Amino acid sequence: MLALSGVTAGYGSVPAVRDLSLAVGEGEAVGLLGANGAGKSTTLRAISGLVRTSAGTITFLGKSINSLPPYRVAELGIAHVPEGRQVFPELTVKENLEIGAYVPNAKADRRRTLDLVFSIFPVLAERRKQLAGTMSGGEQQMLAVGRGLMMKPRLLMLDEPSLGLAPVVTDATFAKIQEIHAMGMAILLVEQNVTRALTLVQRAYVLESGRVTLHGSSLELARNKQVQAAYLGI
């Protein structure tokens, strides 16, 4: 479904990722793991068109998307749920969700998709008239994920969904992500909570200084001594 080959991208003259290759299959959940500054968020931003590549290729459903603007990438079926949630605080929950259905493919089914999002996140249905800025961090994270689903994507990219959340709220958030994945949604997950991420994804890539240093199944990585020492506290 998604393939990056030899991708280099960054900000100005400084590349944040170098010669990066990865793939996500149809209906697969794949993780991007690593410390702060490893290039994980930049990778997602390069895929969604927010950061331009200086080398390599990115293809989605067999189509090159390197040169496409972000709105065209979204129209093709990639939803990017950014780090820090970035909801519109002065709009209601329902208004935030409806903004997610702006792409042509999603507009026609907006009401049906909204019902689906409300079924996955009942708290959003209960608070549909509440201003997003008055919600808790966990509720805003659910809203951000729901807004991504309103696009009817083929691939859902999640950037640090557990960031700033209490452990019990993180558990609830990941349970919902697992539920979404079980519906057949392909997921590319960026997450610093490596233990939690490896319980969700089938495969993962470990990034260090903008390069992939390890790749394998979640079980292989959980048993890897380097991963255990650096990320799992073992």
User: Can you give the pLDDT of all 234 residues of the chain as single tens digits?
Assistant: 999 999 999 988 889 999 999 999 999 999 999 988 899 999 999 999 999 999 999 999 999 999 899 999 999 999 999 988 889 999 999 999 999 998 888 888 999 999 999 999 999 999 999 999 999 999 999 999 999 999 999 999 999 998 888 888 888 889 999 999 999 999 999 988 888 899 999 999 999 999 999 999 999 999 999 888 887 765
β 203-208/211-217 pair status: antiparallel
Give the residue carrying structure tokens 């042509």.
104
DSSP 81-118: E-TT----TTSBHHHHHHHTT-SHHHHTTHHHHHHHHH
**Among residues 230, 220, 138, 229, which one has the least CA distance to residue 177?**
138
Contacts of 112 (CB under 8 A, 6+ apart): none
